[in-house]
Amino acid sequence: MARVKRGTTANKRRKNLLEHTKGFKWGRKSKYRAAKQAFMKAQTYAFRDRKVKKRVNRRLWELQINAGCRANGTTYSKLINALTKSKIEINRKILSEILIKKPEVFKEILKAAGIK
């Protein structure tokens, strides 16, 4: 059986990792050991923050809906309670977009929920 030298495989692996760390600061973009650690840390943050993004967006939607509710003489919690009781299933993202883009439709939703 022929001998297989692994130089090309190792070089390819290192090159691939350094391509992923392009744009990092200092030696973390060019020195393999530092780049490897930085890349692993970056992947950890990326995984975590994909989850955090969902939480942050939901809080933003809730704030926007609350502001719209207060402009119409009610509160966020009263609106959500009224929507639940009247069995209107609309998520916070869409409710927030409606509030921003079509405030007159938001007022209709308030009426349908039994507020005002």
33 pLDDT more than 90? yes
Cα 43 to Cα 12, 57, 66: the distances in Å are 20, 21, 35
What's the whole-model pTM score?
A: 0.79
Contacts of 90 (CB under 8 A, 6+ apart): 83, 109
Domain boundaries, given as residue ranges, for the chain: 9-113
116 pLDDT more than 80? no
4 pLDDT band (50/70/90 cuts)?
A: confident
Cα 76 to Cα 41, 73, 91, 112: the distances in Å are 38, 10, 13, 15
CATH of 9-113, picked from 1.10.1900.20, 3.60.10.10, 1.20.210.10, 1.10.760.10, is 1.10.1900.20
45 pLDDT more than 80? yes
